[in-house]
A and B are shown apart, each in its own frame.
Chain A
Amino acid sequence: MHEHDVIVVGAGGAGLRAAIAAQEAGADVAIVSKLHPVRSHTGAAEGGINAALRDADSWEDHAYDTMKGSDYLGDAPAVEALCQESPEEVIQLEHWGMPFSREEDGRVSQRPFGGLSFPRTTYAGAETGHQMLHTMYEQVVKRGITVYDEWHVMELAVTDEEDPADRTCHGVVAYDIQSGEISGFRADNGVILATGGMGQVFDHTTNAVANTGDGVAMAYRAGVPMEDMEFIQFHPTTLPSTGVLISEGVRGEGGILYNEDGERFMFEHGYANNDGELASRDVVSRAELTEVNEGRGIEDEYVHLDMRHLGEERILDRLENILHLAEDFEGADGLTEPMPVKPGQHYAMGGIETNEFGETAIGGLYAAGECACASVHGANRLGGNALPELIVFGKRAGRHAAGEEMGEAEVTTGKEGDWEPADYEFEVEVGETGGQGPAAADGGAVATDPDGVLEAEVERAKARVEELLSREGRNHAEIRSKVQETMTANVNVFREEGRLEETLGDLREAREAYKDVAVSDPSRTFNTDLIHTMETRNILDIAEALTMGALAREEFRGAHWRKEHQERKDENWLKHTLVSWNDGEPELWYKPTILEGENKTYEPKNRSY
């Protein structure tokens, strides 16, 4: 049993920033992560960090762009916090030594990015995330913050009251991948989930193999609602064979998209007459797939991204990493030929419902970064807005969890304030009730006192591992790949009712199959078979909630496109989708979007680029 004031789960950008902030606020903080911090997927972020740093720019303009990009599904208090605090956080990173790209005068460079009204994206070549991750890990080393690396968090220790709003999180239970030890981690002040993306729900993704949405699924099963899960960003420029990301920076610097006929289709086919390649990501992804579906794709699969005209010097200075990626993972030489690209799963706008301080509906439980939904990105995230989210909300959650007084939140959590039940009837049974046995993960342990709940959760985790290791059954890999296939086929850029229902059916089957899952590697030493098997359960729960949201939201907003519903319907749908696990009987409900900002109300406008 370990004990700290604050436990941070995950060691990417949000987790490291949260830990540093909690430590600065005087807390004894520890990070628990299934990967060593420098392995985290923040390191793969390429493009940059939006921050209104210059006199000609303002946080208000950044907030306006973000709200418009979100298709008016962001919550203004969170959006404004992001835009107000991003500049100081970027300067903080610079003061910690982050090697930003520079202007002639030695100041931090900024470049244009999609959906931005000002070139406000600060960057470090095309490896901004790598530099940011390492810079923050350096600070963690400097401060001597405890890191339990290669410890996989299995479940949260949350009390068992009927109403999730009455529950409290007292820590986590984790499995030491190196030794097989299972241990409780008591958090006296709070647990901060910073587990990142959930891209492994799909099979063509820019996300890492480790991005299985563990934090989202654990919080969901413990009673925290998942918010706006149907909003998945498909990045328009990923390499067709692997899903490796080609940064939006290429288009920001002037890269051009062509179809098979050599047409600059963003303009020539009228997808974005003003901004062309720099339209918002959802717009460009749909344009590319439309080109392919209408027979103008190359090899019926992808389009071309050409940056040759930028010249070798500029490419080497600002986009060198792209040359390496295209060469190593697609065999294309970006200096002499166009690069093949197609849309790939990139980012989850939704996630664990939080307010603007990272608090969830459960006391003592916070979330920050991609796993959380504050909501900053609404229906679509702008390029360059993910990294500032990590540092702004990581810091806020860290300070709050450490006990700093931060005022009253404007964003509500759980069923506080206005909410309405959904009246959508799913044709397929969803969720997972009863009879799961210890091999499956489910809701909270039955106890209400802090020590009792942690001990009970540790015992349950031990029983679960014991059963998975000792019984006979099927391998998880097959189940995982079926989930990924159906999600990629049917819950992709283009969505229609029948196929979404079909996916719920496929997920039902996968749930049934998972009941027989077993781990064939009997070892307690570095048993990745066991870890992956537990992750697959998380993938299942997330895929289902995501598909439920996609079915229920009968409109077209941001990244969520529905064949039967080709318009944004503000009169009915200026609201967030929430799914509560509800002890295995998932419940769908809604709450209104907050469009009232500090000084103005963001009136929904037509989102054209």
Chain B
Amino acid sequence: MSTQTPTQTEESSETDAEADAPSKGDERRDEKRRRAAEERARRQAEEAEKAAADEETVELKVFRYDPEVEGKQEPRFDTFHVPFTKGMTVLDALMYSRDTYDSSLTFRHSCRQAVCGSDAMFVNGGQKLACKTQISELEEPIRVEPLPHAEVRKDLVVDMEHFYDQMEAVEPYFQTNEYPDGELEEQRQTRENREKIKMSTRCIWCSACMSSCNIAAGDNEYLGPAAINKAYRFAMDEREGEDIKQKRLEIIEQEHGVWRCQTQFSCTEVCPKDIPLTEHIQELKREAVKNNLKFW
């Protein structure tokens, strides 16, 4: 179910920022757009025919939108029929569709192994990393949409700026007032403490959690699960020291911080790296309470 409505992108990035006067190039491009649309229609008819003849295909319904291309300014769904192979992921199917049927199909992807965090999207109504979602585990037709609660740039690409801003709002870098004296001497960290922060350090910034969070959807200033988890990663790291932890708790205790979380666990459910986000938020709440009591 699609809940989002794409909005026009901001003026500065709307089309050609160079703002050329109408040129021969524009005319050629218009002509090309028209022909591209015809070509797409022809290919899709072919696909449907092929699909009827061959049962080993999967059907994808993919959200399409482009603010500047005729026929795509109104959001629509395109159907692609992709030959199924064992082990095929949603990303594989999208790449096949793009390389075979429509080279304008647009989505972010890079590592193909769930570590770059580029390809979080809304698959059959849930936030997933396309590269680690097996086609065989999904009901057909597979509906692929951009992440909800983010501005759609084009097709499956959403604007990540807000997510990055929130991540960067929690002073997401290691801080300490004390380093070991010796040359080439590392700070000591117990295995237990490393284990404690381990899951929190696995975040790949895919923003699936933020997209799934009802609170973040209603409060644009809410730090959101990923940013709070980032704060947790440092606040719980024994190498930082008590004074820094104090400062970190103040950051996450602000109006749009941990207290906004209503423990709905949607972030935890969608996290492709299995980070117990809600637990981390809860633990920070407890730390904040303990900390406040100390200062009363």
Chain A residues at the B interface, C-beta cutoff of 8 Å: 35-36, 38-41, 43-44, 53, 87-88, 91, 94-97, 99-108, 124-125, 127, 130-131, 134-135, 138-139, 141-142, 176, 178-182, 208-210, 241-245, 324-325, 328-331, 462, 466, 469-472, 475, 477, 481, 519-529
Contacts and interface: CB of A to CB of B under 8 A. Distances in A.
B13 A178 contact: yes
Interface in B228-245: 234, 237, 239-240
Contact of B28 (A38, A102, A243, A470): A470
Contact of B157 (A99, A462, A522, A526): A526
A475 B234 CA distance: 47
B113 A470 contact: no
A186 to B, nearest CB: 18
13 contacts: A43-B116, A95-B187, A99-B198, A130-B115, A135-B174, A180-B17, A470-B25, A471-B28, A475-B99, A477-B99, A525-B9, A526-B157, A527-B104
A324 B29 CA distance: 46
Given A520-B39, A524-B15, A91 B184 contact: yes
B154 interface: yes
Interface in B67-108: 67-69, 86-87, 98-99, 103-104, 106-108
B112 A208 contact: yes
Most buried by A among B29, B164, B174: B174
Given A180-B17, A181-B17, A521 B104 contact: yes
Contacts of A125: 198
Nearest to B190: A106
A67 to B, nearest CB: 23
B194 interface: yes
A141 B230 CA distance: 13
A99 B114 CA distance: 20
A105 B189 CA distance: 8
B295 interface: no
B256 interface: no
A529 B154 CA distance: 13
A334 to B, nearest CB: 15
B111 A44 contact: yes
B239 A97 contact: yes
B63 interface: no
Contact of A53 (B179, B184, B187, B237): B184
Contact of A522 (B29, B114, B160): B29
B68 A523 contact: yes
Nearest to B111: A208
Contact of B113 (A178, A244, A469, A525): A244
Contacts of A101: 194
B157 A208 contact: no
Contacts of A100: 186, 189, 194
Contacts of A243: 112
B201 A131 contact: yes
Of the four ranges (under 10, 10 to 19, 20 to 34, 35 or more), the interface on chain B belongs to: 35 or more
A138 B113 contact: no
Contacts of A142: 171, 173
Interface string B31-44: 01101100100000
Given A331-B87, A523-B154, A106 B188 contact: yes
B122 interface: no
B247 interface: no
A102 B103 contact: no
Contacts of A106: 188-191
A91 B185 contact: yes
Contacts of B39: 520
B174 A91 contact: no
B118 interface: yes
B117 interface: yes
A477 B171 CA distance: 42
B271 to A, nearest CB: 13
Given A91-B184, A97-B234, A525 B116 contact: no
Contact of B32 (A99, A108, A329, A470): A470
Given A41-B110, A97-B174, A208 B132 contact: no
Contact of B112 (A88, A102, A209, A324): A209
Contacts of A471: 28
B61 interface: no
A470 B99 contact: no
B106 A127 contact: no
Most buried by B among A38, A124, A180, A477: A38
A529 B103 contact: yes
